[in-house]
Structure 1
Amino acid sequence: MIQTKVKSRAFLELIIKDLGLDRSPRIRKLFANSSEGLNGVSLDERIERHLVEALREKISVSSPTPGFFKISVFDTDPITSYVLAKKISEKFIETTREAQIKGIRQAGAFSDEQLAIYKEKLEESEKELARIKKEMMQSDIESNPVNASNLHYCEALKRSLNAEIERKNLSLKRLREKLVAIFGLVPTTDKIAKDESVKNSERRLMAFGEEKLLSELSEGRDVPDSEEFKKATESLRQRIMEIIRKEYGQFSPDLHSLITEYFYQRYLLDYLKFQKNKLDSFTEQFNKNMERKPYLEKEFNRVSHEVETNRTIYQAFLESKTSAQISEAVQSTNLGMRINIIEQPQKPLVPVKPNKIKIMLLALIFAGACGLASIVATEYFDDSFRSIEEVEKMMKLPVLGTVPKMASGFEWEKKKRGRMILIWTIGLVIFIGIISGVLYVYSSHLKSAGIGIELKDR
């Protein structure tokens, strides 16, 4: 991965920009003069491509041991290799740190965004949970006097109240008929309804009625009327009588009692209806609670789980944000760097190649091979006989005798050998020239192609 990053075009372009290689007048002039066949490609693009490829060939990344990496830069100029190695190592650390900080900031930004989202979700779910709790408390069975244990008594009490109301209605009907028979209509007066004493007595009756109803539901049995209730009803009757006497003073006392009883029974009927309405409301609330309780419990469990989930996620993003802030602070210093430079680049004292010893060994091997090849070739092209056996083998005849050569007979062989030596000498010179040309091309390939000169000039 490190080698891929170091040799990537984006990274090498950063090196080129920092060193200013693409702005070199010499390089720009060189590429401006060699623009044939490159129409459509800008000068800057061609220079960058060339420099990127040149730098790739000069960089080598190896791993001597696991977790450690060695970045080497090769160039014919020692200053060039030193500057490139120093810049590459520093830039690699810099870009790595920037990438880490960027990743941490992105994680922090994501955490901030999600933190706001889940904070809102948590607040909404907590509000919903509080609403459900409140509704459950309001619909709690204990807050309603009617419950499963006294439900049957409640129904019986309701029937009893209905019967009592029915009796009161019949009694009022008879009284109304008597009054109509006497007066032709039912006497009316607004003074009774507007009287403060009557109003207070009516409120006391309603309070006593509610208190009695709650006591009966709590104990599950009928509760007799209290002395205070009796006093309140008697006080109400006396006050109505006083008002009737003042309003209808021209009539006899018997008619006063009849009119008073009529209005008094109306207030008692309202008292019974108040108790019945209260009991109906308690029963209706109990039935609603029983119907809604499973739904509320289900919603309570669901919203409670949602609150815990949102709180857990919110806490996780909160910790992630804190961790990102700490990591960014650490990465901004050298404390958080997992990659650092163990050994700084140094200016090379001796070249790593070409290796002189290897060249000398290669020359010795080559010289020996050439000598051996010349001997083999001389022997191969020499057609003279060296022994009697070769003659007999060649002629298929026995040799009867040999005649030695005269001194003058060796002249033509000397000339032939001289021509042979001359040919081999010329061939060897040509071969050495070819090898020298190859080595020259190779050495030219090793040169920095302008990079070394530019860095040295800097």
Structure 2
Amino acid sequence: MSAVLTPPPALTAPARDDDEINLLEYWQILRERKWLVASIAGAVFMLALVFTLLATPIFRASSTLQIERDTMKIMDVEGLTPAESPMDRDFYQTQYELLKSRSLALRVIQDQRLVEHGQYKKTIEAVDESLAEKPKSGAAVPAEPKQAVRERALVETVLKALTIEPIRNSRLVRINFDSADPLLAARVANAFADAFIASNLERKFDASAYARKFLEERLAQLKARLEDSETALVQFATTEQIVSIGENMPSLDAQNLAELNASLAQAQGDRIRAEAKWAQASRGDGLGLPQVVASPLIQKLREARSLLAGEYQEKLRTFKPDYPDMQRLAGEIAEIDRQVAGEVAHIRNSVRAEYESASNQEALLEARLSGLKADVLDLQSRSIQYNILKREAETNRQLYDGLLQRYKEIGVVGNVGANNVSVIDRAEVPNGRHSPRVPLNLAVGLLLGVFAGVLGAFVLHHLDRSIATPKALSEAAPLPVLGAIPKLADGITPEQASADVRSAFAESYRSVRTALQFATPNGIPRSLLFTSPSAAEGKSTSALELARNIAQLGRRVVLVDADLRKPTLHRIGGVTNGQGLSNVLAGAAGVLEVVQSTSDARLSIITSGPLPPSPPELFAGERLPALLHELSQHFEVIVLDGPPVLGLADAPLLATQADATILVAAADATRTDSLQAALHRLTSVRARVVGTLLTQFDVRRKGGAQGYGGYSYYEYGGERG
């Protein structure tokens, strides 16, 4: 008959999310292992104290540097002075790494002769021993000197004692050096600052020296190339008869062509004007010509003729033309006309000659201009290669001049010697030790100890596979927890504890009895088997106490010791074990013959009887069901105290015949895997396991009555206090 058990209200807890942090549970874990936490914390604290007291005092000296991004610009030379962004942190990180470089440490070791200092004596001796052993092992002797090997061996030691500490939101950095010798700490800290400044200047000088050397080589190459290009240009100009009169100036032929072209234009204008004059002079009598009108001689002659003509006309009124005076006047007038005609002819000839001269000059200029055009075109064809050579020479000259200027600038800037690193505070000999710091070390040791203790408590808790609480029992076995039996104090027996009805021990079994009343639809099962995964887990005591509690309800109960290997009921029940269950199963006695009465008339006991050689054979026969059937005729409840499940075949055989089985687990003794293996074995034979029972539960150590149904409200001998 199967049974369904509903756990009592005192043993159930409200469901909660698995991801929820249960601080109370963590506190209970720490409380349970408080001595472990205290011992680990104390041990770590003592180790920190011993280490602090035995540690060598270390002194720290600090030197402060200011590192500027840009040097003071004596000359603003493009490409030589840096122009980084102020927000760029790469520059400062680079400087910090340079301060921690091996090369700088080696320089300090050499400058301060640290190889000879007593603080590094052991390191130097170890290096000397290794150098002495190398030839013996067949290894090649190092080529570098012994002193260099010693210095290199100290680099790591010195760097471990060095600390670079940038000061936030500033351009300052502290150089800290730790040493057991305060004088050495101050000396090395200052040496690092000085060496860093010196190396910074040397790097700049080396960079400028390298640039000067490179420019010198390039200048020599460009100078030779410039000489070659100019020589080729002069030779070509000499060969081709090309004369250069200056930069951006035309050649002589081109200048002559321009001048001749201007002269031709002027000659053409003169010829046109002369031709116009001649055309005017060649028509009519010529008296209207400007030259004639402007001639003083002709004007005087014409005035004289006018006077003579007037005189002639006046005398003509008196005299006849044949009159001698009249003939004289006529002759003078004719002479004047002849002279005027001669002068006009001279002017005409002059105009004609001017016209002819202008025409001839124009013709000559045109002929010369045609010749110069041919010369200029020929010069242009010959100047193509000349211009190529000229441009090459000019390019080489520009490159040479630019590099020469840069070379001079580098020489000036390189000799300035500006530095962007300066010492703000030099290291002083420290008065107090930097480490070990007793209060800090002890505080850290205590914190680490507490942390290690808490960590150890949680680790042990999670590694501990034993079942310690009803909650762990319910998680290990998916069955109702019928109850948790508190652990008795030293010197208190179960009989004494159960005698006090107000004790937590007695109250817990009454709670189990109450839970069993609801285990099946018919109440308490008619036959009930108590078993456990292993021995000494409290199943016999639980069987006896539960039988007594059921009998107190007025029911007739028989308690059967079914453990035919290590029986205990006859001792704790105070009865004899002359004959019992083994006699009945073997057919040597009847059922009622082996039943023994107790102080309670409603409770009877059947002991195990003599131990048989093979208990499973007795349980596997037909006498066990008959025994249970016969007992059910005389008793209302049959309680079986069975053997452990694991390693034996007895318990599964008994479980198949009992109406219900209770699996007992001892707190801090029963392992989770053992419980699960026992439950699996019982369910594999179709046993009706109605629940589990936790015994030897230390209520105080697990957090008192909080969450465990008030099992610690009463204690044996009085109230909880």
Q: Shorter-chain TM-score category? A: 0.3 to 0.5
Rg: which structure is higher?
2
Q: Which structure shows the bigger proportion of residues in helix conformation?
A: 1
Q: Which structure shows the bigger proportion of residues in strand conformation?
A: 2
Higher relative contact order (CA 8 A, sep 6+): 1
